[in-house]
């Protein structure tokens, strides 16, 4: 359980020319559940974007699921993203196709060919998020919480070692947030690491775990008072 | 409720495909018409050039066998379209008709010479080549003089050059407009899907995998567009052919198939390239740049 899955060494993150976060050094081990908290604009999203290759790492060194972020080539980015699952605040499902087709797209894009295996995998991940009966619907036909659960199912398709969740409950009401959180916790219990950016402190209190805080262009670990 | 939304979605999709297809069809139609014009201008120019006659005047002393042989060898030459012997009596008759006056009676003698009229193939009607041919024919001892309208030939060649340059410039402009129009309508249709493209990248799809369905769809639209353009052109050409059969628009199968084939290939090529570059553009942008 001490295998490191994400490691950053004195990393600085820039949005265009302006410095957002500086001198980040952290490590996440396999199977850990880590919160990343901070006010809006504190650089949580930029931090996440750097991790999945949407922002280039220009200062410091970083290693994520076996990829060196500093020397990451444009061509390698798709393959990095196959090894991490990403969950967004605004779900980012493909609006022009059904839930099943959304998941099928990801599988086909990542090299799955066999039709029956694809179907099996889709029903497997939908079952995990309890959405098995809604596969024929379009994203706009289901609720926000359901969409987010589908997005989590999508992140699970290729059995990633690390799931990056960028404010997954940001657009959801408290009750739905708890449901989504439960799904994430279950996945974590199954052995996957999760890094979740959030500003929903209620969730932190309800599901306490290792917590990193972005503040004043620094990232540091905070210790929760009660468990 | 869902069905009405589906219908709306489908209609929206169809209308966006529709506008791309129509703009491709219109532009290809324009290009095809221009190509038709160019090729027919060439025909017209050739027609004029082949009207230019070179007259070989023969000496009185020339023997009939010599004349016959010259006429035959001229008729067989590469540059000849037709070579025709005109006796001086025939020439006098023609001239008398033109003048409206019996000049033979007036002069008491026919001053005209026996001659051979040569009509050349269009490719040989240039001042230089005509001079060469005249010199060659003049080498025969029984030939008195070789005559043709030098200023006319020079003028004809100069004008053809000017017209060709004009057409070349016009067609490059139309070509440019064609490419820009098709390109921008395809780019717009892809611009509307830029966030979908970005999402696809987020879940680990490679650029070529994302691009493939876009290219397939737009090549299909290009094919439909070129078929529409060809259909419209066929309709218009057969209408013109009925009204003006002397243009012989549809007779030249080679030309027509060349134009139609060109339209088809150009339609596919341009939609393919435009889609490639348009998708490439959005694939290379970072998420934050998509909002600008």
Could you read off the pLDDT of B255-270 as tens digits, one per residue? 899 999 999 999 999 9
- Smallest Cβ–Cβ distance between A86 and the set B202, B207, B209 belongs to B202
Same domain? For B126 and B171 the reply is no
- Looking at the domain assignment, is residue B127 inside a domain? yes
In a domain, B292, yes or no: no
Which pLDDT tens digit goes with each residue over B86-107? 888 888 888 888 888 787 777 8
Contact B202 A93 (CB under 8 A): no
| B139 in the same domain as B219 | no
How close B42 comes to chain A (CA, Å)? Answer: 51
CB B28 within 8 A of CB B226: yes
Q: Count CA atoms closer than 13 A to A46's CA, side-chain side.
A: 25
CB of A220 less than 8 A from some CB of B: no
Alpha-carbon gap, residue B169 to A111, rounded angstroms = 49
| Residue B2 pLDDT | 53
Contact A216, A49 (CB under 8 A): no
Do B108 and B201 share a domain, yes or no?
no
Q: Which domain holds residue B85?
A: 53-148
Q: Is residue B111 part of a domain?
A: yes
Q: Nearest CA to CA, how far is B38 from chain A (Å)? A: 45
- Using DSSP, state whether A95 is helix, strand or coil: coil
Determine what percent of chain B is predicted with pLDDT higher than 70: 96
User: Six-digit token pair at B12?
Assistant: 């929206």
Last residue of a domain, one of B93, B126, B148: B148
In degrees, to the nearest 5, what angle opens at C-alpha B253 toward C-alphas B247 and B259?
Answer: 90
User: Which of A35, A33, A27, A34 is CA-nearest to residue A5?
Assistant: A27
CA distance B109 to A15: 104
Which residues on neighbouring strands pair with residue A212, listed in sequence order?
A36, A221
Q: What is the torsional sign of CA A118, A83, B286, A49? A: positive
pLDDT single digits (tens) B155-177:
888 888 898 888 889 888 988 98
Q: How far is CA A7 from CA A27, A61, A225, B244, in A?
A: 4, 8, 26, 80
Place of tokens 């087709």: A101
Nearest CA in chain A to B284: A74
The verdict on B96 and B30 lying in the same domain is no
Note whether B185 and B74 are same-domain residues. Answer: no
**The pLDDT of residue B124:** 86
Query: pLDDT tens digits, residue range B186-202?
Result: 998 899 899 999 999 99
In Å, how far are A75, B65, B216, B286, B287 from B197, measured between CA atoms?
16, 84, 15, 11, 10
3 state DSSP class of B260:
helix
Question: Does one domain contain both B124 and B269?
Answer: no
When pLDDT is averaged across residues B215-234 and rounded to a whole number, the result is 95
Give B243-259 as a DSSP string: H-GGG-TTT-HHHHHHH
Question: Across the strands, what pairs with A220?
Answer: A213
pLDDT greater than 80 at residue B11: no
| Residue ranges per structural domain of chain A | 4-222
Other residues' Cβ atoms within 10 Å of the Cβ of residue B237 = 18
Q: Which residues of chain A have pLDDT under 70?
A: 1-2, 224-227
Q: CB-based contact (8 Å) between B202 and chain A?
A: yes
| Residue recorded with tokens 């969950």 | A87
**Region class of B289: left (phi > 0), else alpha (psi between -120 and 50), else beta:** alpha
Q: What does the alpha-carbon distance between residue B242 and residue A193 come to, in Å, rounded to a whole number? A: 77
B76 and B43 belong to one structural domain: no
Q: How far apart are CA B263 and CA B269, in angstroms?
A: 10
Structure tokens at A169: 């409950």
Exposed, middle or buried: residue B245 (CB in 10 Å: 0-12, 13-18, 19+)?
exposed
Closest Cβ–Cβ partner in A54, A82, A140 for B287: A54
- Please report which helix (H) or strand (E) contains residue B168, including its range: helix B150-191
pLDDT for A2 equals 60
Domains in chain B: how many in total?
Answer: 2
pLDDT tens digits, one per residue of B225-258: 999 999 999 999 999 888 888 777 777 888 899 9
Same domain for B201 and B267: yes
B14 plus B140 within the same structural domain: no
Q: Which of B116, B131, B148 is the last residue of a domain?
A: B148
Task: Compute CA distances B35 → B64, B162, B227, B230, whole Å.
Answer: 49, 18, 16, 13
B202: alpha, beta or left, given left = phi > 0 and alpha = psi -120 to 50?
Answer: alpha
Task: Check residues A114 and B289 and name the one with the higher pLDDT.
Answer: A114
- Using pLDDT thresholds of 50, 70 and 90, give the confidence band for residue B45: confident
List the CATH number of the domain containing B139.
3.30.70.3040
The two tokens of residue B214 are: 């876009």
| One domain for residues B162 and B280 | yes
Neighbouring CB atoms inside 10 A of A113's CB total 8
In the CATH hierarchy, which fold is given to the domain comprising A4-222?
Rossmann fold (3.40.50)
B69 and B43 belong to one structural domain: no
User: What pLDDT is recorded for position B8?
Assistant: 72
pLDDT value for B64:
83
Residue B227 counted as domain residue: yes
Burial class (CB in 10 A: 0-12, 13-18, 19+), A21: buried
| Nearest residue to A52 via CA among A226, A217, A195 | A195
Residue-wise pLDDT for A5-43, tens only, equals 999 999 999 888 888 899 999 999 999 999 999 888 888
* Interchain contact, B2 vs A81, CB within 8 Å: no
Structure tokens given for A9: 């060494």
- Residue B147's pLDDT is 86
> Per residue in A77-101, pLDDT tens?
999 999 999 999 899 999 989 999 9
Q: Is residue A94 within 8 angstroms of chain B, CB to CB?
A: yes
Q: Which of B113, B131, B148 is the last residue of a domain?
A: B148
Instruction: Tell me the chain B residues in contact with residue A82 when contact means C-beta distances shorter than 8 Å.
Output: 204
Q: Is A136 on the interface with B (CB under 8 A)?
A: no
In a domain, B290, yes or no: no
Residues B18 and B103 grouped into a single domain: no
């Amino acid at each position: 359980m001490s295998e490191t899955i994400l490691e950053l060494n004195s990393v600085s993150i820039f949005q265009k020319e302006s410095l957002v976060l500086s001198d980040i050094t952290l490590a996440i081990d396999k199977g850990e559940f880590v919160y990343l908290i901070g006010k809006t604009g504190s650089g949580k999203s930029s931090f996440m974007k750097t991790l999945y290759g949407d922002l280039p790492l220009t200062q410091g060194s970083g290693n994520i699921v076996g990829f060196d972020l500093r020397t990451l080539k444009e061509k390698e980015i798709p393959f990095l993203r196959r090894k991490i699952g990403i969950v967004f605040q605004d779900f980012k499902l493909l609006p022009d196709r059904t839930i099943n087709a959304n998941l099928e797209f990801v599988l086909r894009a990542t090299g799955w060919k066999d039709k029956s295996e694809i179907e099996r995998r889709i029903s497997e991940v939908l079952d995990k998020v309890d959405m098995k009966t809604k596969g024929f619907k379009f994203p706009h036909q289901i609720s926000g919480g359901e969409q987010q659960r589908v997005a989590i199912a999508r992140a699970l398709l290729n059995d990633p070692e690390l799931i990056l969740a960028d404010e997954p409950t940001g657009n959801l009401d408290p009750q739905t947030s708890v449901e989504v959180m439960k799904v994430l916790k279950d996945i974590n219990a199954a052995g996957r690491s999760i890094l979740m950016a959030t500003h929903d402190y209620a969730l932190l209190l309800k599901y306490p775990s290792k917590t990193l805080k972005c503040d004043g262009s620094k990232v540091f670990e905070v210790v929760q008072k009660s468990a | 409720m869902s069905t009405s939304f589906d219908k709306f979605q489908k209609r929206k999709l169809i209308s966006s495909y529709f506008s791309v297809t129509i703009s491709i069809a219109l532009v290809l139609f324009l290009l095809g018409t221009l190509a038709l014009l160019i090729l027919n201008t060439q025909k017209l120019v050739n027609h004029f050039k082949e009207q230019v006659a070179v007259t070989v005047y023969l000496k009185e002393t020339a023997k009939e066998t010599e004349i016959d042989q010259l006429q035959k060898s001229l008729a067989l030459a590469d540059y000849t379209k037709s070579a025709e012997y005109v006796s001086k009596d025939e020439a006098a008759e023609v001239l008398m008709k033109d003048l409206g006056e019996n000049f033979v009676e007036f002069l008491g003698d026919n001053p005209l010479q026996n001659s051979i009229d040569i009509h050349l193939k269009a490719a040989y009607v240039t001042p230089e080549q005509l001079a060469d041919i005249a010199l060659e024919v003049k080498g025969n001892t029984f030939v008195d003089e070789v005559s043709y309208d030098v200023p006319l030939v020079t003028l004809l060649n100069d004008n053809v050059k000017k017209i060709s340059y004009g057409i070349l410039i016009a067609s490059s402009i139309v070509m440019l407009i064609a490419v820009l129009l098709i390109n921008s309508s395809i780019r717009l249709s892809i611009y509307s899907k830029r966030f979908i493209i970005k999402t696809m990248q987020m879940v680990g799809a490679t650029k070529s995998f994302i691009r493939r369905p876009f290219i397939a769809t737009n090549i299909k639209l290009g094919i439909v567009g070129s078929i529409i353009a060809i259909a419209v052109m066929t309709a218009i050409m057969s209408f013109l052919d009925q009204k003006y059969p002397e243009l012989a628009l549809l007779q030249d199968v080679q030309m027509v198939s060349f134009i139609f084939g060109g339209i088809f290939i150009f339609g596919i090529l341009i939609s393919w390239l435009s889609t490639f570059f348009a998708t490439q553009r959005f694939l290379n942008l970072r998420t934050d740049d998509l909002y600008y």
